[in-house]
Each structure stands twice: as structure tokens, then as C-alpha cells.
Structure 1
Amino acid sequence: MQATRIPGPPGLPLIGSMLELTRDPLKAYLAAHRDHGDVVRFTAGPPGLRAEFWMVFSPEGAQQVLATRAADFRKDNVMYEEVRLSLGNGLLTAQDTDYQRQRRLVQPLFTRRRVDTYADAVALESAALVDRWSAVPDGVVDAADEMSRFALRAVARILFGTDVEEAIGAVRRSFPVLGAYVRDRGFAPVRLPRQWPTPGNRQAKAAEQELYAVCDAIIARRAGQESDDLLGLLAAARGEDGEQLDAAELRDQVLIFLLAGHETTATSLAFALHLLGMHPEQQKRAREEAFTVLGDRPPRADDLAALPYLTAVLKEAMRLYPAAAVIGRRAVADCEIGGVRIPAGADVLVAPYVTHRHPAHWPEPERFDPDRFTPEQEAARHRYAWFPFGGGPRACIGQHFSMLESVLALGAVLREFAVETVDTEVRLGQAITLEARGPVRIRLTPHGS
């Protein structure tokens, strides 16, 4: 393997690229791709504490990291370690035999047939959302906050059934604290021990304890009982040799499902509404499809196939605003990507946020155009030109659920309201997932008013 000089931003003499990565990492990634190509090395931090990581922006490189050579790229980096320590060793963070065992037990609960049974919970929460929005005096809501609330309620209802209200308050209070804590530690040049009684450590510990206590109480109360919500199905899941998840493993799965199952959907829905509110022609087309298919009844799982334009709207929103803006791995063997040698032990990141804007695959990449996702257009593109759910053997297990929930909820909203964007410029940030650093306000006008 011939070593190749790796291009990358020079940064400042003492701290490398730390300033631009701290101020606006997504902007820094886009600039690095524009100026240096598909494989870029960043260095950040002062001498002795300097971090170094490689970013891969091409679809071909993303496929290599996530799929064709997935065994050479593990979830051993700092961010996954911090998520694991705060939210347990569930499917998102587990590896090797732990992951294989969990996947075997959980996979049957995420087949298309099973996921379709969750549509009733989505319809129920969609109706509650429409009712709440109908009562807003000026019709202006923060789509980011509202969609986070909606998606959390939907996934919590699917997980906990009648215990949903008990869990919601603790999750709403705890997740923002833990998300910020994981983000800050994941990007910090020095991580103080979690056991030290710093204000941040104490606040995070309190949030963990509240969240764990609520989940543990619900799990303990369900012991020996049968129920058809997701928690009940998880508790009843058995492998071929009778293996099952114990109480701690159940909690770990629940916490990861709560995190991954609401933040990704919330991001997609919030930015779909944000984009439609600035593009009236596309909104009109989406609304007409929703009216035609849904009529005045609650949405059902079998409506998904009949809503191709709404699906394309969501996919285009996920192209421009992928919840997993960056996906990290650690190389365990020397490798070559795009003609560049990357050493074993290197932190390697693929970036849907950048790849989804790659000009070789996306003409006018900043333009909102759902027609990019016709079947013909999708078939003509590289498989990893669009990968908001990751890919390869660790692809998100909840892809179908996320699309089902997002499309049905968007249809229910557009059927009732015309949407106008208030905050046309939204500052973005990178935490565990993509986040809006400020409101994403939209104005809702009931149809016929």
C-alpha cells in the first residue's frame, strides 16, 4: 500500500482547526470537502492534547467504512463510549457478541409487518398534535420543539403503552441534559473523570438516575405480565436457545430506542415543515396527496405506499438535514480510501451532511427538490449518496418505523394546515444528532380559514 499525503485544512500553528470545529463543525466539514477533496485529515487542539481524525466524504468511501470493510471500522471512538456510559449498551453502541445477541432478539420486533402495527399509536399522537396546534392563538409554533415532543410521545407510547405519561416527563427533562453532556465530553480535548463532583457531572448523574429510575420501575412492574407494547414484546423475546434480555439489558434497549426513535424522526419532520413553508408549490402538491389518500380518517400503515410524494419530501428533508450528520468509527487495520492511506487506530468519520451535498451526485445540492427521489432517480444514484440511516451490517434497525411515522404524521399535519416558514435561516449544531441552535418557527393556518 503506497502512502499518500493526506490533504486537509492547515489550521492554526498551536491549535490546528479547533476554532472552526468549535464554532461550526458542519461548515468546517463542507469547506474541507470543497478545498481538499473526498478524504481529509483534521487536527485540533494544543500540542500534547491534539486530536487527529480523518473524514470521508465520497459515497464510495462511506460504503467502504460502513459496509464492504465494516469489520475494520469499529464503534470504539470517544463519542460512542460517552453514549454507552450515559445511555447503556443497547443496539446503537453494543459490539461483537453483545450486538449479535441483541440484534437476534430484537430484529423480529422491527419487521415491516410488526412495525405496521405501531401506526395506530402514530395516528393517535398525530391527532393530539393537530388538536394542540389548532388551539395556538397566533398559529406560530417552534417546529423543532414540537416535533421533538410529538416523536418522543409516539415512540414512548409504542414502548410503554399505558405507562407513557409516567415516562414522558423524565425523558423530556433528562435527555437534553445528557445529550449536551455527551456532546461536550465527546469533543473535549480533556475529559475529567465522571466520578469527580463537578457541576456538569452532578447534573448529568441526576438526569441519569431519574431516567433509569422511571424505566426500571416500569420494567419491574411488568415482570411476569404479558403486554403487546414494545417493552412487553422485548421482555418476552426469546432466542433459539431460550436466551432473553435481563432487566438491565431491557433498560439499555429502551433508552437507546427512546433516543434514536425520537430524535431522528423529530429532525426529519421539523425540517420537512421548515422547507415546505418556503416552497409553496411543493407544499401544495404534498397537501393534495394527503387530502386524496387520507380523506378525513386517521392515517393507517397501508397508506405509506400510496403517499410517494410525501415520502419524497421526507427523504429530501433528510438529505439536507440528516439527523446523523456525522457517523464515527475507529479503524482497526491499515486501509486505503480514495487512494489515501489511513493507519490502524485512526478515528474515521463519514458525513451524510456533506455526502448528501456532493456536487458529483447532487446537482444544485442546496436546492430543495423532492423529485430527486423518484424511483428512477434513486436507482441511478450510488447507494451511499444518501444514507441518513447509516448502512451495512449496523444500519438503523428502525428505518421503516421512522419513515412510517414521519410520512403519516406529515400527511396528518398538511391535511389540516397550510404552513409558512417564519425562521428562514436556522443555525445548526452537531451533538449526538443534528440539532437546531435556535427556534424553527412556522406559522400554521387551518385550511378554509
Structure 2
Amino acid sequence: MKEIAQVPALTFLAKSRQIYKDPLPFHRENFEKYGNTFKISPKPGLMIHFTCDEKITQHILQKNQKNYHKSSLQTEDLGKYIGHGLLTENGEKWRANRKLIQPAFYKKSINNFMATMDVVVKEELDRIQLDKITDVYAIFNNLAFKVVARSLFDFADIENLEQKISRLQEITEQAQKMLIKELRIPWMKWYFDREWLSGTNSVPHALAMVDEARDILRIIINNRRDSKNEPGDLLDMLLHSTYEDGSHMDDDQLVDEILVLFIAGHETTANALSFAAQLLAHHPETIEKAREDVSKANLDETLMNQLMAMPYLKQCVEETLRLYPPAYVTDRVALEADECEDIVIEKESIWLVSFYEMHRRKDLWGKSRSF
């Protein structure tokens, strides 16, 4: 069996400030030095195995996925901010809720939401000032959040909904920043946990904001029930979904799933669109080819069918996701001892899969860093 190389603790400590700002160079440096799998102990009693090996990844996430659960980084650290929804649950509860929510992401359902997406995109395009330098991330961040919000909630039936949505966006972004600090600099937990020390830069302050977000969502949910309206948005679908025993999702679970949709459906999309814009801008020839795809669209078809008939545009999106995967890492904990590729996977060991590095391996992709 192969021995997994370990990064010295002093090396990790020396790079801690860099890791907080941007962990990817540290990952890349160690993958280049130690190969496709290495391990590191960021604090006493915690050992994390990093891998960009495609076979180990497939084994953990697909072939033997029943033996691997999300770690406490997702179920507890992330869970305290967004609750216990699809992104943070394991096992039977995850399967039950996935089955409940899955119809919302069938092709027919997505097709119904395309009109909403089209309206929001046109509104945001009209706001762009063409004669000045603009941060595209800010544009796409607002765009993605509004698409998620309007897909979830019909704007017509709740008083002051736009203000509520703006506040939800602000809270979501602040909570994400606090979570990143917790995950990247765990040795500062003693500081972030004490509001009297760190003030608005503290975990208690961030969690109080999350509680405010939950209250806003409960108001929206209750107003929808009281209104008796059924606009067919995602909230409507979630309210009418039933488990196998005929029961409905309770309000706490409903709030958790909505928070997951805001987090997972907004920031990842904004990141992907921003990187796509950057890559296209650096390769003007791809913009012309993409425009050719768009110019050939059959306007008599649905918007979904039009997009499906644009192969080059699809390639641009997929290549962006290869080079800059929005969820660039994920982790799992082994429930029982296992082995793969001559590597022993110990029981309860933590494995972090780097999609970012896997997607940039020359032996898999050739010109791996070219668009």
C-alpha cells in the first residue's frame, strides 16, 4: 500500500495568511510536490487528506458513496448558517428531502422558470452602463440572486418583498464571509466566537443575522399561505410537496431548503458567469463564434429548446466550469475502513476532493489551462 505524504505543520503555519486569502496556490504547490494525494494536520487532532485523483474521487463520490458522508465542516459549520437542508444533510434524511424537492428541477419545471430568468436578465442588462468600467461580478451577483428570488417567490403577493429580498441578499453575503473565515483560519475560532472581542466580525453577530433571515422567510411563507395564491413558483411547489407517508415539509425544514437554494443557487452561478465573461473577453474569437450560435436560434422554439440548439455556447459554459468550478472542493468522511488505488482509507478519515486541481491536470486534459 502507498504511504500518503504529509505536509509539515510548520509549512502550513507559515502559509496560513496566504491560505486565508486564497487557498488554491497552497493546494497547487503541494499537489505538484507530493502528487495527486497528500495529507495535512491544520490543528491538533485533525487530519485532512487532499486528493485530485480521478479514480479516488469516483470511488468516494460514486462507486462506494454509501460509505462516505459529508464532514462536520458541512453538516455543522455550514449547517449552523443555512440549517439542515440538502447541502448539509446525510443519509436517509438527505434522500427523503432530495426526492421531495427533485420535481422542481425536472426539465418541465425548469422550462417554466425560463421566462422568469429571461425577464430578470433583460432588466439587469438595461442597468449596465456601457460607457464606464464595471465590476462584472457585482452585475452577475445581483442577477443570480434576483433569478433565485423570483423563481422562489412571486413578487406580486407580498408587501415590501423587494426590500425583504435585498436584506436577504445582504445577510447571505455577510454570513458567507464569516463562514469562510471560520473554515480557512480555524485557529482563530476563539476570537470569532466572542462578540465582545470581534464585534460585527463575530460568529454570534453573523448567526443573529441568519436568524433575521429566517424570520423574513417565515413571514414570506405565512403570507403565501394566507393569500391562497398558487403562482406555481418554487415556494408553491415546496409547500405542496409531500413525503412518501403523505406528510408535508415543516416550516423549519422549508426555511432550511430555501436558504440552501439561495446559497447554492446564487453565489455559484455568479462566480461561473463572472469567469465566463473574463474568459470570453480574453478570447474575442470565441465571442464571435458564440454570437453565430445565438444568431441561428429558432425564435419559434421555447427558450429552453433554443439554448439546447447552441452547441458552441454550451461548450463555452462547460469549459468555464472545468477551469473555474464554482464548488471547487468538497469533502467526505469514511464511515468504515476502505481502500482504493493502493491507498488505505482509514475509518473516520476526512477526504477533501479538489475539482479545481483535477480539472487542470495535464495528464487528463492536455493543454489543461487553455480555454
Whether the TM-score (by the shorter chain) exceeds 0.5 is yes
Q: Which residue matches 2:242?
A: 238
CA distance in 2, matches of 1:92, 1:27: 26
Relative distance call for 1:23 and 1:197 in structure 2 (3 A) is closer
Distance in 2 (alpha carbons) for counterparts of 1:21 and 1:280: 33
Write the distance in 1 (CA, Å) between the matches of 2:192 and 2:302. Answer: 46
Aligned: 1:316 with 2:309: no
| Identity among equivalent pairs (%) | 26
Instruction: Find the partner of 1:54 among 41, 49, 53.
Output: 49
- 1:88, CA displacement in angstroms? 1.0
Matched, 1:366 2:369: yes
Q: How does 1:42-81 map to 2 (within 5 A)?
A: 42-45=40-43, 49=44, 51-81=46-76
Q: Deviations over 1:193-242 (max 9, x none)?
A: 98754421342033213211211100011126233110011001123321
| Mapped partners of 2:64, 2:348: distance in 1 | 15
User: 4+ residue stretches of structure 1 with deviation over 6 A?
Assistant: none
Determine which of 135, 139, 149 is the counterpart of 1:156: 149
- Contact 2:331–2:353 (Cα < 8 Å) also in 1: yes
Is contact 2:336–2:346 with CA below 8 Å preserved after alignment? yes
Alignment CA distance shift 1:14-1:24 (3 Å)? closer
| Structure 1 gaps, min length 5 | 369-449
Supply the distance in 2 between the matched residues of 1:263 and 1:210 (Cα, whole angstroms): 20
State the distance in 1 between where 2:192 and 2:248 align. Answer: 31
Establish whether residue 114 from structure 1 lines up as the match of residue 112 from structure 2: no
Aligned partners of 1:340 and 1:189: how far apart in 2? Answer: 30
TM-score, normalised to structure 2's length?
Answer: 0.90
User: How far apart are residue 124 of structure 1 and its match?
Assistant: 0.3
Gaps of 5+ in 2: none
**Residue 214 (str. 1) matches residue 216 (str. 2):** yes
- The superposition leaves residues 409-432 of structure 1 with CA deviations (integer Å, 9 ceiling, x where unpaired) of xxxxxxxxxxxxxxxxxxxxxxxx
Residue type at the aligned position of 1:88: G
Question: CA separation of 1:146/1:192 partners in 2, compared to 1, >3 Å: closer, same or farther?
Answer: same
Other structure's SS at 2:332 match: strand
Structure 1 position 142 matched with structure 2 position 126:
no
Shift of 1:190: 5.5
- Give the conservation status (yes or no) of the 8 Å contact 2:195–2:205: no
Q: What corresponds to 2:309 in structure 1?
A: 306
Aligned-partner SS, 1:223: helix
Contact 2:50/2:353, CA 8 A, preserved across alignment: yes
- Structure number with the higher helix fraction is 2
Indicate conservation of the 8 Å contact 1:332/1:344, yes or no.
yes
Structure 2 distance, partners of 1:300, 1:311, is 14
RMSD across aligned positions (CA): 2.3
Given the superposition, is the C-alpha separation of residues 16 and 197 from structure 1 closer, same or farther in structure 2, using an over 3 Å criterion?
Answer: closer
- Provide the TM-score with structure 1 as the length reference: 0.75
User: Which residue identity is paired with 1:218?
Assistant: I
Cα distance in 2 for partners of 1:75, 1:307 equals: 36
> Among 145, 169, 174, which residue is 1:172 paired with?
169
Q: Distance in 2 between matches of 1:127 and 1:327?
A: 34
3-state SS of the aligned residue for 2:364? coil
Cα distance in 2 for partners of 1:346, 1:155 equals 36
Q: Is the 8 A contact 2:70 2:333 kept in 1?
A: yes
Amino acid at match of 2:19: L
Paired residue total: 360
Q: Do the aligned partners of 2:82 and 2:256 also contact (CA within 8 Å) in 1?
A: yes
Matches within 5 A, 1:92-103: 92-103=87-98
